[in-house]
Amino acid sequence: MVRTTLSAFHVVAIAAVLSTFAGWAAATPAGELSGAAAIADAVLWGKEMPPSALTADLPRSVQSQLSEYFQREHSFRSGITPPPGATEEERETYDRRVGIERVVFCLFPRGDSAKVAPQYALDADIEPDWQGLPENPRREAKFIDQLLTDLPKPWLAPYLNLVAGHRKLCASEMDGAKADARSRAMIDDGRRQLARARDAGNGLIRVVAERLLKTGRCNER
């Protein structure tokens, strides 16, 4: 589990994939989005940050953090070992784990983020394909909620609250007409987590959280 991994600083490659309704391949390319939507697409799905020209409309305070993010993205070197003799599917899984690692490393300019980022990316409970089943994003959110109860690296909490809140919005959205009291309660809980993420002080996380609180949407398209 992640508590053991984070404390032991042990990095190994494991296979799993984070996806949208039809899988990661169906997610919107960040280059087709702009502003807060483009940043949300990158942070929530582990993509590279879009070119600065697509986020020029954001406040100056956000621009300074974006500049630092780009610098860290440029210097990023993954600590995750590629699986030997990987199949195409395993290689895709590896690339997506690295995407999560990159986002965590770039969001938090700390001395220990280079160690913690791959540990979380490898240990996170993520589903290979949601297949339209709301239980899959619920499971991802549940893992994060359990981690947050005893988090060895508290500085990671804003990102975890952001992702968990987003996954809860996704699960409730996928419930659709079948939404019940549990689904509605999950929306409320997800929005509370997004509010905590928004207020935690990280400018880029705030942009994404505000976007989600405003739109209430799982995906940007």
Whether the pLDDT of residue 14 is over 70: the answer is no
Q: Which segment of 39-43, 83-87, 113-117, 212-216 scores lowest on mean pLDDT?
A: 83-87
Contact 30, 69 (CB under 8 A): no
Q: Give the tens place of pLDDT for each residue, 104-133.
A: 999 999 999 999 999 999 998 877 678 889
Q: Give the tens place of pLDDT for each residue, 163-205.
A: 999 999 999 999 887 878 888 888 999 999 999 999 999 999 9
Q: Which long-range contacts (CB under 8 A, 24 or more apart) does 141-145 make?
A: 141/165, 141/167, 141/168, 141/171, 141/186, 141/190, 143/2
